[in-house]
Structure 1
């Protein structure tokens, strides 16, 4: 029996008009020439040059003058080379200079894909049998740089989705705060990653720091440490590990007057400068009953991928931290929505071919994993992976999977695992749940349907999915029909 799937008409398409104002830097020499040119005109001329810029771009960006001023502050240190005190410059001069170090970036001009869906923390003003939801997407622009963006909507009793108004004034985080570290806790994290103290004496770096320190203070300490020692290559790698651990932590705050559709989580740290990929969001129930939202994602620096995690309660404030341990090495980690038998649980794919499951006492440290699933059917012979976090049902943990088969065609499947022992597979669909149709086959990467997280509502499974890495849509499946098929699949 083939489980019936109901494709919805709604489409989420790339929109090149959605832009953010990014910092633009082309090197010290060019920057100095630009600053000289601006300071070479009168203050009146500077104001005349600035007026049309503000007039044009204030319609496209909220507080564009503040953005220009922030970007001026990023290059203000260069004024010392010109023997100019920035305090002597007028506000107009500073803002005009900042405009030359600003560019628009169209965040979703290339693709709008790999969605996940979750219940919105705000359910006010919804009707009977309605539910407000948040959808996350991977938005990709010029240079294939990926970021995380959001949409909100309301599902009715038939799970038809009404998209709420989408804001046009996109913004990165208003504040980006580097983590302030406690020395003892940081030492413990390093020891969990590697036997740090056995190779580099602790007094070399960490003992020179205060009990609490910032990323900048640690970076300066390492710089001094490198001067005092000639390190072999393996020891230099450890220095780099310390910097990686420190730079991976940061926090984001978005302005309260932004709509969630206007908030853009754009790459911040160096290990994600080429993209934040495939965020798998899940609403997580803590031991105390409080709800938190976690998202595992892949950070990409152009060469290396690193699994990371962000968490939020309100989608205004986000905390970002690295995932480390021996198994935090590959794409596609997906967190269970609660602890299982007192431990955090995670789906992962260590080898790129099979599904694994891992358990941990610490949500950011993952040491060991067990093989959970191997490719079984022809449509998944190349690889099998998860399509988002497991979903708890009375019959077991429901996991949407992706399988790759002939012609590198990506399809979606489904599996069911025991609630008390999720290492035990109850059943797996023999046929794909969702295969690319004629329309869905065409795109940036042909023949691909892909999801990063589903949810249950009104007795149906809601599956948002991407169409050939270009645009997105969603489909629904009768939950009882799907569970019955899974239980009878062995």
Structure 2
């Protein structure tokens, strides 16, 4: 099997950093209440112990907590107060609290979570909504990444960077702090919760971490495929992702205009039951279009008049070459070129080895496959074979700039890197 010669790996390694932490609610296990309805939970016991401290001891304990953790988080006292507000059930049995007591109680019901301790992978890339102040010919971008921490829980995090006119890539330094968003609205419907969130105290995009917020996401927000979507002069960013609750998966949609406020919505319909959906960057003949994998093996084209409901679909791509005999899937939203829709794919071959390929779809009728790569564009090199899941290269989306395909990709489900590809050479390589 030949490696494509027009791939340029950039050695911009984005590796997981266990030093980046957010605070999460800590919920002590409750004791059996059995026959006695007056039994107290562990939470009640913790609250009582705090209230039994005299005022000086409580203030000293709170000061010690702040000395240990203040530099690791923004507005920590406010976070303690908000957590105390959520613990009202444990506080109801007690009468009055001082401000110090409430803040200290909040601290006892939080813990730090190292959200990217294990992995930082499966990236996608889109143009940044703010292109001001950069050199001529350059492009600022936003990179989304899947971060994995303790318990293999996946969250969504971001980086920003710039592609220069000459094709060189720079990823901005990562902020020291990390922050979760505030939930501004939650609606429970027949298909699950729709949630609106906003980041109020995270000026740097690399601070923003979207941790699972609903039951369907409780074990992970996985593999977001972001796309810059144009509709009648309006631009919005959408991403399909896999919501995983430990026993079941489903496709959901996140949308944002500024990467500060986000809405997360479950997708409905028979075509949304699997993972790996990717939205086209514009409507086709007045309808939304999606590439989906409904049967764990082939790729389907699905149209819909409703962005949040997807039914049916027709198969457009099946495994054909040895490196993809096990299954194929998409690697992000199709990219519009003069020649057609460029769709990056992943293929699984012998010994469950993942490689990245491509197909070219007709611009007017994406069900027509014009060409596809007979050999992988990118496959694990010897230095990329070791990791949490060996022998995997994977991406959730690329973009173009100055005749090049900018391809962030994950290495063995552990860390991420970049490659660039000359689009003209890529077109010549496909049959």
Question: Would the TM-score normalized by the shorter structure come out above 0.5?
Answer: yes
- TM-superposition CA deviations, 1:299-329 (whole Å, max 9, x none): 0000000100000000011011111111111
Of residues 271, 289, 292, the one that matches 2:216 is: 271
1:120 aligned residue = 128
1:134 aligned residue = 142
2:33 aligned residue = none
Of residues 384, 404, 415, the one that matches 2:359 is: 415
Give unmatched runs, 5+ long, in structure 1: 180-214, 216-241
Within-5 A mapping of 1:22-61: 22-28=24-30, 29-61=41-73
Is the contact made by 1:3 and 1:482 (CA closer than 8 Å) also made in structure 2?
A: no
1:174 paired with 2:119, answer no
Is the contact made by 2:16 and 2:117 (CA closer than 8 Å) also made in structure 1?
A: yes
Is the contact made by 2:223 and 2:242 (CA closer than 8 Å) also made in structure 1?
A: yes
Q: CA deviation at 1:256?
A: 5.2
1:70 paired with 2:82, answer yes
1:280 aligned residue = 225
Larger deviation, residues 405-414 vs 49-58: 49-58
Q: CA deviation at 1:176?
A: 3.9
Give unmatched runs, 5+ long, in structure 2: 31-40
Structure 1 runs (4+) deviating above 2 angstroms are: none
Higher strand proportion, which one? Answer: 2
Is the contact made by 2:193 and 2:266 (CA closer than 8 Å) also made in structure 1?
A: yes
Within-5 A mapping of 1:419-434: 419-434=363-378
Within-5 A mapping of 1:361-376: 361-376=305-320
| TM-score normalised by structure 1 residue count | 0.84
2:10 aligned residue = 8
SS at match of 2:210: coil
| TM-score normalised by structure 2 residue count | 0.95
Distance in 2 of aligned mates of 1:3 and 1:371: 31
Higher helix proportion, which one? Answer: 1
Is the contact made by 2:226 and 2:239 (CA closer than 8 Å) also made in structure 1?
A: yes
Q: CA deviation at 1:55?
A: 1.6
- TM-superposition CA deviations, 1:172-215 (whole Å, max 9, x none): 10334213xxxxxxxxxxxxxxxxxxxxxxxxxxxxxxxxxxx4
Distance in 1 of aligned mates of 2:329 and 2:426: 19
Distance in 2 of aligned mates of 1:266 and 1:397: 33
Is the contact made by 1:175 and 1:254 (CA closer than 8 Å) also made in structure 2?
A: no
Equivalences, count: 419
1:327 aligned residue = 271
1:477 aligned residue = 421
SS at match of 1:248: strand
Within-5 A mapping of 1:46-445: 46-80=58-92, 82=93, 84-85=94-95, 88-179=96-187, 215=188, 243=190, 245=191, 247-255=192-200, 257-286=202-231, 288-445=232-389
Q: CA RMSD in A?
A: 1.2
SS at match of 1:341: coil
